[in-house]
Amino acid sequence: MATILAVDDSASMRQMVSFTLQGAGHEVIEAEDGQVAYDLAQQHSNVDLVLSDVNMPNMDGISLIKALRGMDSYKFTPMLMLTTESTKDKKMEGRAAGATGWIVKPFNPDQLLATINKVIG
């Protein structure tokens, strides 16, 4: 099963994401913003997938992905952005930063699992 770094500043979103992923047998590392996630990513080299919100305090999701892509152990790691339809241009920005893909909010647990199965295993 995969180790997933889940980044969102909303506690309820993190809770939902973690609960869903853990329920599917994955290990989840939670972070409440990009900076925390970046620090955690440096401590963990075994992350199989990064799920990150875009709008967050301290370090946003785009900057996080850009920073992680620059690290050797995250060169090929799938990174998905959790984004809303109103931030379409963000998708392009995210792709340019090295994001693998995106999950459009709102999503439910089943959609989340279906989507991450596209990029793990």
Partner 1 sequence: MAVDISQFHEMFFEESFEGLEVMENGLLNLPPGSSDIELINDIFRAAHSIKGGAGTFGFNEVSEFTHDLETLMDLMREGKYSVTSEAVELMLQAVDCLRHMLTELKDKRPIDYSNASEISKHFKLILEKPESTAPEPEQVSATNDTECKSWRIGFKPNPEMLQTGNEPYRIIRELGELGCLVVHVLLDDLPSYDLIDPCECYLAWQLDLSGEAVSRDAIDEIFEWVIDDAEIGVEELSGAKISISQEAPAQHSDDSKESNNPLPEPTAVSGEVLPTSAVAINSEASIPRSLETTKPKAEPARGGDSKSIRVNIEKVDALINMVGEMVITQSMLCQLSKEYNEESHNELVSGLAQLEANTRELQESVMSLRMMPISFAFNRFPRLVRDLNRQLEKDVELVLHGEQTELDKTVMEKLGDPLTHLVRNAMDHGMETPQERLEQGKPEKGKIELKAFYEGGAVVIQICDDGKGLDDKKIQAKAISNSLIQEGEVLSREEIQDLILRPGFSTADEVSDLSGRGVGLDVVKQNIRALNGSLDVQSKENSGTTFTIRLPLTLAIVDGQLIRVEDSVYILPLTAISESLQLEEKNINTVAGGVDLYRIRDENIPVVHLNALFGHDKAEGSEYAKMLVVVESNERKIGLVVDELLDQQQVVIKSLEANYQGVEGLSGATILGDGTVALICDIHDIFTMSAGQYQLSFDKIFQSGHNYAA
Residue 70 binds to partner 1 (criterion: CB under 8 A)? no
Distances (CA, A) of 80 to 13, 99, 103: 15, 6, 7
Residue 108, both tokens: 């439910």
Residue 63 binds to partner 1 (criterion: CB under 8 A)? no
Within positions 32 to 51, which residues make up the interface with partner 1, using CB under 8 A? none
CB 85 within 8 Å of CB 40: no
Residue 79 binds to partner 1 (criterion: CB under 8 A)? yes
- Residues in contact with partner 1 by CB under 8 A are 9-13, 15-16, 19-20, 23-24, 55-57, 69, 75-79, 82, 84-86, 95, 98-102, 104-111, 113-114, 118-121
